[in-house]
Chains A and B, each alone.
Chain A
Amino acid sequence: MADLGRAALVVSLGLSVYALVAGGVAARGNRRRLATSARNALFCSFASTLVAAGVLAAALVRHDFSFTYVAAHTNRTLSTPYALSAFWGGQEGSLLLWLLVLTGFGALAVALNRRLLRDLTAWVVPVLGGIGTFFAFVLVAVASPFDTQTAPLDGAGLTPSLQNPYMVAHPPMLYLGYVGLAIPFAFAAGALLSGNTDERWIVATRRWTLAAWTFLGFGQLLGAHWAYVEVGWGGYYAWDPVENAALMPWLAATAFLHSVMIQERKGMLKVWNMVLVALAFELSVFGTFLTRSGVVNSIHSFAKSPIGGWFLAFVVISSLFSLALIMRRLPLLKARTKLESPLSREAAFLYNNLLLVALCLTVLWGVLFPIVTQLVKGETRTIGRPYYDFFLRAFGLPLLLLMGIGPLIAWRRTSVRTLLRTLRWPLAFTVGCGIALAAFGAGSSKPGLIAYTFSAFVLATIALELVRGTRATGSLLVLVARNRRRYGGYVVHAAVVLLAIGIAGSSAYGSSTEKRLTPGQSMSLAGYTLTLRDVTRETKPNVREERAVLDVKGGFDGTISSGDNQYVNPPEPSREVGIHTNWLKAEDVYVIADDIRGNAVYVKLLVKPLVNLIWIAGIVFLFGSAVALWPDAREQRRLVTRLAPARA
């Protein structure tokens, strides 16, 4: 069966090359049949990649250890869902997933748009073919999932700490995001190549961009939650290079999402948009390179892998190609209107772009720093947390403020007087909140207080927008239904605000203490008193569980347990933390039994205020995106009849 998988991948490679070459020739030479043939090749590359994926999936479920990959990442005791999740547990499998999603999305995007934007789509095909060629090549020649061996009796198994629902959800969701960004990139490149640089490519890929951005954002929140509850150091984000690898393209995509609105309305920022979409795509491939190549030290990556060099080459070549294309077509990217005032909605979007790109480049610099210092000074230096925290505040807080002011500024220009008049109520509310918060002790952290105050401001402006809009249209539902993108966007902004409040609360206003306890001894923090009752040890099939059981008083009455699991097959330990959410006080009590010797336990106790807002923000985020993504029948009809061929 491995032969079939290998053959299918070779077929995919051939089809991608054909789509690239024939597609390019057809688009250049205006040849219809060849263009259709290249498009068919793109569809077929999805089919053959699907076959290859099917072979791997079947081997995983069947526990076919003659596949080296299956033996390396599963064993007989693994249940089917986790055996399948091992598909993306290792390098070769995740590359195959990349290719599968790429060919699938590519086929779908081209199929949906083949009548709408014929000349544009003719150029999108070779671009997608080019990207597919790279990944198929790596899968065929460098890192194949279909290497075989004499089957051992049992496989190595999946690390127990990876056997949880997060492993099933988090990587695929991120991949849908990463790869999804290839679609707007391909259409942007197609627009440049075909010389068709008006807004049609943006309108055609609008929902793709939003969906990819949503997957990437939600996937990161899943990862953060996973780190919080499973890895258990008390935090949810460590500015680890692999975490940053997903954050950077997301920031670029956020800037792109907003900036295209300006191009649609005002025909401005055309060059920005081309650069942003290319940046988002290159960063997502670069992110894959970071995670897989072992080039930087990270909790996720390590072994130096041969694919690193190939990925780097691809990123460099495709970046140079994009840059050259943009420079070549610069005359076509002239703005239709000009920026008239630094206090206008256009300017606000420009500031938004600048801040987001600044934050993105800051993170990129932090990630590249060890590599750069190694090359320049011969010594690897790593940048620590304080760097990221500083710039997150320096750029993130102004962004938060902009989220509130931006929607309230009018197009072209607004006078300061009008703006202040519009902001009357939100400003009053904000000042009131600020004073109240300071009175309640929030002044203990200045950045925290600023974050809270700005968040209050943004929430007030969103409420203001909803109230005014409802008054003008008569019904909130009608208002939202008729302006899904705008009001869905406001809901997403509200989610970002909740995220900001959650992050500020749990980092700026959290507290911690640690103590060694024997049974009967207690420790206190923030009104909670924990007393060690006992250390229990329980043996279950495949695992030995050791737990410190603590009684809690004050705040809530109950018990929290924390400790370690020692698994048998494979023999790996994992840390299990105890988390109790005190909904009334809106905080988490987080207990880590750091060291258990006999009956004595070294306990680390953390209180994390408002941390659950981060996870709630994820749900609100999804809801807002769903509203913004919801198909609009009238808009679709208009697009189709307008852009379809007259003689169809």
Chain B
Amino acid sequence: MPTRSPARLVVALAVAAVLAVFLLYTAVAGHSTPTLTPSELHGKTGQLSIVGTVVGPVRGDAHAQAGLRFGLRNIYGKSPVIAVVYHGDNPPPLFKPGRSVVVTGRYGAGRLAGTDIVTKCPSKYTQKPAS
């Protein structure tokens, strides 16, 4: 088709290239981590993240062999308390019992070997003011 501009071909090829890169990555690497609450951990093992509220007492040292030890429970509603043993950088300064956190690590046999903690800023956007 001599009169058709090459634009469509160019765009089609480019889009195909982009999609190919994309699919290749997700097929080969596909790094996604399940993010679960403590009540959703039945039967799960391996690398995952747990969203929950910190349960004290918080004991130990993140840089020591024995690690930092604390518990995690659901932010909303009842749930079992999951034991966490955390090794790595000290948790951010806002980390303390009652705070909402996301802990990432290997989970097995009811325990999480945590390697990363993200805390959330204190309740700035909730409806009720902090007392």
A–B contact (CB under 8 angstroms): yes
B-binding residues in A (CB < 8 A):
68, 71-73, 89-91, 155-156, 159, 162, 231, 233, 292, 294, 297-303, 305, 338-342, 347, 350-351, 354, 358, 362, 369-370, 373, 379-384, 386-387, 390-391, 394-395, 514, 516, 564, 570, 572-575, 592, 594-595, 597, 602, 604
Q: Encode contact with A along B37-53: 1 for CB under 8 Å, 0 otherwise.
A: 00010000000010100
Contacts of B14 in A (CB 8 A): 350-351, 354
| Residue from the set A159, A231, A340 with the largest chain B CB neighbour count within 10 Å | A159
Within 8 A of A (CB), among B58-95: 61-63, 89-90, 92-94
Residue of B nearest to A91 (CB): B125
B83 shortest CB reach to chain A, Å: 21
Q: Is B7 interfacial (CB-CB < 8 Å)?
A: yes
Is B121 among interface residues, defined by CB-CB distance under 8 A?
A: yes
Instruction: Tell me whether A299 and B121 are in contact (CB under 8 A).
Output: yes
- A292, A362, A383, A595: the one contacting B22 at CB < 8 Å is A362
Q: How many residues of B are in contact with the other chain, CB < 8 A? A: 45
Cβ-defined contact, A301 with B125, below 8 A: yes
Q: Considering only CB atoms, which chain B residue lies closest to A602 in the complex?
A: B63
Among B15, B102, B123, B128, contact of A354 (Cβ-Cβ < 8 Å): B15
What residues of chain B lie closer than 8 Å to A351, measured between beta carbons? 14
Select one of A156, A369, A373 contacting B130, CB under 8 A.
A156
Cβ-defined partner of A384 (8 Å) among B15, B31, B61: B31
How many Å from the CB of A413 to the closest CB on chain B? 10
Nearest to A378 among chain B residues (CB) is: B40
Q: In the complex, what residue of chain B is closest to A292 when comparing beta carbons? A: B125
7 new A-B contacts, CB < 8 A, other than A303-B126, A516-B63, are A72-B129, A89-B124, A297-B102, A350-B14, A354-B15, A380-B36, A382-B35
Q: In whole angstroms, how far apart are the Cα atoms of A342 and B102 in the complex? A: 48
- B18–A354 touching, CB < 8 Å: yes
Which chain B residues have a beta carbon within 8 Å of chain A's beta carbons?
Answer: 5-7, 10-11, 14-15, 18, 21-22, 25, 29, 31-36, 40, 49, 51, 61-63, 89-90, 92-94, 100, 102, 118-131
Give the one of A292, A384, A516 with max B CB within 10 A.
Answer: A384
How far is A231 from B11 in the complex, measured between Cα atoms in Å?
43
Hey, which chain A residues are within 8 Å of B29, CB to CB? Answer: 386-387, 390
Question: Knowing A68-B129, A382-B33, A384-B31 touch, does A302 contact B120 (C-beta < 8 A)?
Answer: yes
**B51–A297 CB distance below 8 A:** yes
State whether A572 touches B94 (Cβ < 8 A). Answer: yes
Chain B contacts for A573, CB-based, 8 A? 93-94
B130 x A338 contact (CB < 8 A): no
Point out the residues of chain B lying under 8 angstroms from A294, CB to CB: 125
CB pair A338 B5 closer than 8 Å: yes
A370 to chain B: closest residue by CB: B35
Q: Is the CB of A90 within 8 A of B125?
A: yes
CA distance A303 to B40 in the complex (A): 20
Bound Cα distance from A572 to B124, whole angstroms: 13
* Closest Cβ–Cβ distance, residue B50 to chain A (whole Å): 11
Write the chain B residue with the least CB distance to A564: B93
Q: For the complex, what is the distance from the CA of A370 to the CA of B62, rounded to whole Å? A: 29
CB of B91 to closest CB in A, whole Å: 10
Q: CB distance A303 to B89 under 8 Å?
A: no
Q: Which B residues lie within 8 Å of A299 (CB)?
A: 118-121
Complex Cα distance, B118 from A342, in Å, reads 47
Compute how far the CA of A351 lies from the CA of B14 in the bound complex, rounded to whole angstroms. 8
CB-based contact B61/A595 at 8 Å:
yes
Are A350 and B10 also in contact (CB < 8 A) when A156-B130, A602-B90 are? yes
Residues in chain B near residue A90, CB distance under 8 A: 124-125
Most buried by B among A91, A381, A391, A570: A381
What is the CB-to-nearest-CB distance from A609 to chain B, in angstroms, rounded to a whole number?
21
Q: Select B63's contact among A71, A341, A575, A595, beta carbons within 8 Å.
A: A595
CB–CB B124/A341 < 8 A: no
**Smallest CB–CB gap between B98 and chain A, Å?**
13
Chain B residues, Cβ within 8 Å of A162: 124
Report yes or no: B22 in contact with A71, Cβ–Cβ below 8 A.
no
Question: A341 to B6, Cβ gap below 8 A?
Answer: yes
Question: What's the nearest-Cβ distance from chain B to residue A508, in Å?
Answer: 19
Measured CB to CB, the closest approach of chain B to A430, in angstroms, equals 24
Chain B residues within an 8 Å CB radius of A91: 125
Q: Which residue of B lies closest to A374 (CB)?
A: B35
Please name the 7 residue pairs, one residue from A and one from B, whose CB atoms are nearest each other, closest first. Answer: A72-B129, A339-B7, A573-B93, A303-B126, A338-B5, A594-B90, A381-B32
Bound-state Cα–Cα, A342 to B9, Å: 9
Establish whether residues B124 and A73, one from each chain, have CB atoms under 8 Å apart when the complex forms: yes
A159 in contact with B33 (CB, 8 Å):
no
Contact, CB under 8 Å: A156 / B10: no
B127 to chain A, nearest CB (A): 7
- Within 8 Å CB of B127, what residues of A? 303, 305
Select which of A156, A379, A594 is within 8 A of B89 by beta carbon.
Answer: A594
CB neighbours (8 Å) of B119 from chain A are 299
- Bound-state CA distance A336–B32 (Å) is 45
A516 contacts across to B, CB distance below 8 A: 63
Q: List 8 A-B contacts (CB under 8 A).
A: A72-B128, A297-B51, A303-B127, A347-B10, A379-B40, A382-B35, A572-B93, A594-B62
User: Is there an interface contact between B36 and A302, defined as CB atoms closer than 8 Å?
Assistant: no
A575 touches B93 (CB 8 A): yes
Chain B residues in 8 Å Cβ range of A604: 89
Complex CA–CA separation, A305 to B125 (angstroms): 8
What residues of A have a CB within 8 angstroms of the CB of B40 in the complex? Answer: 379
Pick from B6, B51, B90: contact of A342, CB below 8 A. Answer: B6
A381 and B33 within 8 A (CB): yes
The residue of chain A having its C-beta at the shortest distance from the C-beta of B7 within the complex is A339
Residues of A within 8 Å of B90, CB to CB, are 594-595, 602
